């Protein structure tokens, strides 16, 4: 019996119907039953598993014994099974969401949430208590949000995780963020930049000072890019320090500072302190306010290499946002040496469905939409692809920054649009996603 499969049906349902799911493959789910269930039960099973139902007939006593085995299954085992499933799906987050009649568990896979199972509220109480204890949280406090860190294990491998709780109507919603530290130890070549962008990025990295900003929405891989760069440049003769909120991945050879707002250790205060620590390279987790922006620019001008992230849609908006934060244009021009604007685009599963042919730049191409199958967990997607625009702000480009309000094509997202078109030409992205990204991200097709 696969407990992960068995747990998809509640114990009360198993007893009432006299059945128990015992295992599944890509196409079928196998149900132990004393007799053929009625159509209503078959419909419930079909909805739960979205697969063909295969019956395996067993004696009533044998099924009751299987149900008892499921009852004896320890809570830590359920917790481990859920985590193992998340790792197998390459999920970035596990959402535990209590409702009136049970607990929904959803995984964020390829940027989208997918419902993977339902548990009882009794199971939820036990799981939430165990997770909060592991994260060194107050298990009696359920009225206020809490944050913590913990380790989880899967197949003898340790994973750093962040835990966040927030009170909702039927309890506490819990989100477990899984930090895959090995992803940050890959070569820059594996980040999926184009060859030209890799060459541009190499030129930016070789510079001894200046400000490099990575921009994009939440979940676009900004942290991965920054950590990969730091891992690439770290050496015995370089002092690298980071300011993070919080530290996501610990890296050898790098001095990482975890911000603590309760004691006044903010980005600004941390940056002031690090500048007295003889740094070569400083990574600031995010430029959020005027004071941090001004200090990051000042640090870059005074001989340090500064890396950070900023929430804007395009390379052009990076410059404009810094000006909005009160940084003078001539200081931005002196400090800024690189901009990396990026997105992660969901790739279609092989079950994709052709929907027609369109003309793109004089070329007829087949277009597709997502469909969904067992392999992709009915999402229609498998994996994601980076698209980006990378700019080295060299002497020539610095000279043009003063005209940024006149030249709308300066620091455009044209590289990103080109990569997006290439993916559409290859038939690996959903056509409607393509249109949505162009509109939502305000990318110019011209």
> What rounded mean pLDDT belongs to the chain?
89
Q: Are 275 and 400 in the same domain?
A: yes
Residue 420 located in a structural domain: no
Token readout for 95 is 């959402």
More confident residue, 150 or 443: 150
pLDDT-derived band at 43 (thresholds 50, 70, 90) equals: confident
User: What percent of the chain lies above the pLDDT cut of 90?
Assistant: 56
CATH number at residue 154: 3.30.450.90
Above 80 in pLDDT, residue 184? no
Give the CA distances from residue 439 to residues 62, 65, 93, 318, in Å, rounded to whole numbers and listed in that order: 58, 56, 27, 19
Above 70 in pLDDT, residue 224? yes
Last residue in a domain, options 40, 71, 102: 71
Last residue in a domain, options 71, 88, 104: 71
Instruction: Look up residue 289 and give its DSSP letter.
Output: S
Q: Are 229 and 329 in the same domain?
A: yes
Query: Per residue in 121-130, is it b (16+ CB within 10 Å) or e — as a string?
Result: eebbebbbee
Above 90 in pLDDT, residue 235? yes
- Whether the Cβ atoms of residue 309 and residue 285 lie closer than 8 Å to each other: yes
Q: If you average pLDDT over residues 376-392, what whole number do you get? A: 92
Q: Render pLDDT for 403-412 as a digit per residue (tens, 0 to 9).
A: 898 898 899 9
Last residue in a domain, options 150, 179, 208: 179
Residue 206 located in a structural domain: yes
Per mean pLDDT, which range of 97-106, 115-124, 145-154, 269-278 is the poorest? Answer: 115-124
Q: Are 393 and 249 in the same domain?
A: yes
What region does 231 belong to: left with phi over 0, alpha with psi -120 to 50, or beta? alpha
Residues pairing with 295 in the sheet: none
Residue 282 located in a structural domain: yes
Q: Are 88 and 200 in the same domain?
A: no
Q: Render pLDDT for 341-358 as a digit per residue (tens, 0 to 9).
A: 999 999 999 999 999 999
- Whether the Cβ atoms of residue 135 and residue 144 lie closer than 8 Å to each other: no
Q: How many CB atoms lie within 10 A of CB 45?
A: 22
Q: Are 109 and 209 in the same domain?
A: no
Q: If you average pLDDT over residues 255-276, what whole number do you get? A: 91
pLDDT-derived band at 443 (thresholds 50, 70, 90) equals: low
Q: Are 196 and 310 in the same domain?
A: yes
Task: State how far the Cα of 68 lies from the Cα of 72, in Å rounded to an integer.
Answer: 6
Q: Are 159 and 190 in the same domain?
A: no
Q: Which domain holds residue 98?
A: 75-179
Residue 434 located in a structural domain: no
Above 60 in pLDDT, residue 446? no
The pairing of strands 112-119 and 381-392 is unpaired
Residues pairing with 24 in the sheet: 29
The values of phi and psi at residue 29, to 5°, are -120, 135
Residue 306 located in a structural domain: yes
The percent of the chain in helix, strand and coil, each rounded to the nearest 5, is: 35, 30, 30
CATH number at residue 396: 3.40.50.300
Above 90 in pLDDT, residue 226? yes
Model pLDDT, residue 387: 96
Above 90 in pLDDT, residue 47? no
Model pLDDT, residue 121: 84
Domain count for the chain, please give it. Answer: 3
Above 90 in pLDDT, residue 330? yes
pLDDT-derived band at 374 (thresholds 50, 70, 90) equals: confident
- Whether the Cβ atoms of residue 248 and residue 230 lie closer than 8 Å to each other: no
Q: Render pLDDT for 124-168 as a digit per residue (tens, 0 to 9).
A: 888 898 899 999 999 889 999 999 989 898 888 889 899 999 999
Residues pairing with 344 in the sheet: 386
Q: Are 132 and 252 in the same domain?
A: no
Above 70 in pLDDT, residue 265? yes
DSSP secondary structure of 207-256: -SSEEEEEE--TTSSHHHHHHHHHHHH--TT--EEEEESS--S--TTSEE
Q: Which helix (H) or strand (E) holds 3?
A: helix 3-6
Give the CA distances from residue 4 to residues 20, 21, 23, 413, in Å, rounded to whole numbers and listed in that order: 12, 9, 8, 45
Above 90 in pLDDT, residue 360? no
Report the number of secondary-structure helices (H) and strands (E) in the chain.
Answer: 15, 18
Q: Are 174 and 187 in the same domain?
A: no
Winning range, highest mean pLDDT, from 59-73, 185-199, 289-303: 289-303
Q: pTM score, two decimals? A: 0.78
Q: If you average pLDDT over residues 28-44, what whole number do you get? A: 88
Q: Are 190 and 316 in the same domain?
A: yes
């Amino acid at each position: 019996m696969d407990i992960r499969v068995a747990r998809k049906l509640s114990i009360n349902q198993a007893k009432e119907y006299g059945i128990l799911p015992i295992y599944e493959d890509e196409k079928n789910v196998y149900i132990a039953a004393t007799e053929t269930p009625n159509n209503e039960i078959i419909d419930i099973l079909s909805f739960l598993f979205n697969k063909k139902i295969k019956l395996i007939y067993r004696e009533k006593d044998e099924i009751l014994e299987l149900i008892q085995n499921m009852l004896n299954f320890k809570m830590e085992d359920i917790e481990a099974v859920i985590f193992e499933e998340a790792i197998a799906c390459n999920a970035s987050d596990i959402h535990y969401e209590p409702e009136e009649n049970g607990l929904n568990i959803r995984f964020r896979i390829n940027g989208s949430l997918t419902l993977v199972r339902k548990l009882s509220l009794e199971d939820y109480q036990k799981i939430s208590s165990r997770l909060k204890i592991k994260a060194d949280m107050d298990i009696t406090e359920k009225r206020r949000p809490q944050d913590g860190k913990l380790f989880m294990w899967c197949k003898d491998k340790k994973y750093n995780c962040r835990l966040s709780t927030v009170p909702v109507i039927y309890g506490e919603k819990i989100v477990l963020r899984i930090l895959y530290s090995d992803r940050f130890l890959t070569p820059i070549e594996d980040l999926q930049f184009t060859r030209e962008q890799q060459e541009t990025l190499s030129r930016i990295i070789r510079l001894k000072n200046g400000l490099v900003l990575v921009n994009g929405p939440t979940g676009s891989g900004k942290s991965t890019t920054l950590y990969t760069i730091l891992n690439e440049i770290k050496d015995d003769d370089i002092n690298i320090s980071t300011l993070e909120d919080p530290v996501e991945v610990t890296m050898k050879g790098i001095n990482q500072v975890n911000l603590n707002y309760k004691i006044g250790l903010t980005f600004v205060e941390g940056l002031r302190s690090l500048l007295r620590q003889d740094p070569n390279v400083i990574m600031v987790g995010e430029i959020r306010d005027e004071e941090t922006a001004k200090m990051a620019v000042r640090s870059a001008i005074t001989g340090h290499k500064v890396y950070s992230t900023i929430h804007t849609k395009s390379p052009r908006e990076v410059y404009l946002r810094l000006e909005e934060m009160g940084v003078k244009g001539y200081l931005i021009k002196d400090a800024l040496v690189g901009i990396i604007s990026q997105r992660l685009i969901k790739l279609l599963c092989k079950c994709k469905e052709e929907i027609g042919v369109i003309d793109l730049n004089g070329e007829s191409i087949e277009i597709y939409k997502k469909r969904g199958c067992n392999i992709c967990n009915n999402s229609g997607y498998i994996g994601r692809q980076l698209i980006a625009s990378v700019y080295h702000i060299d002497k020539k480009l610095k000279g043009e920054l003063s005209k940024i309000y006149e030249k709308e094509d300066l620091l455009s997202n044209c590289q990103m649009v080109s990569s997006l078109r290439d993916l559409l030409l290859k038939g690996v992205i959903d056509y409607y996603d393509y249109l949505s990204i162009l509109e939502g991200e305000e990318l110019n097709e011209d």
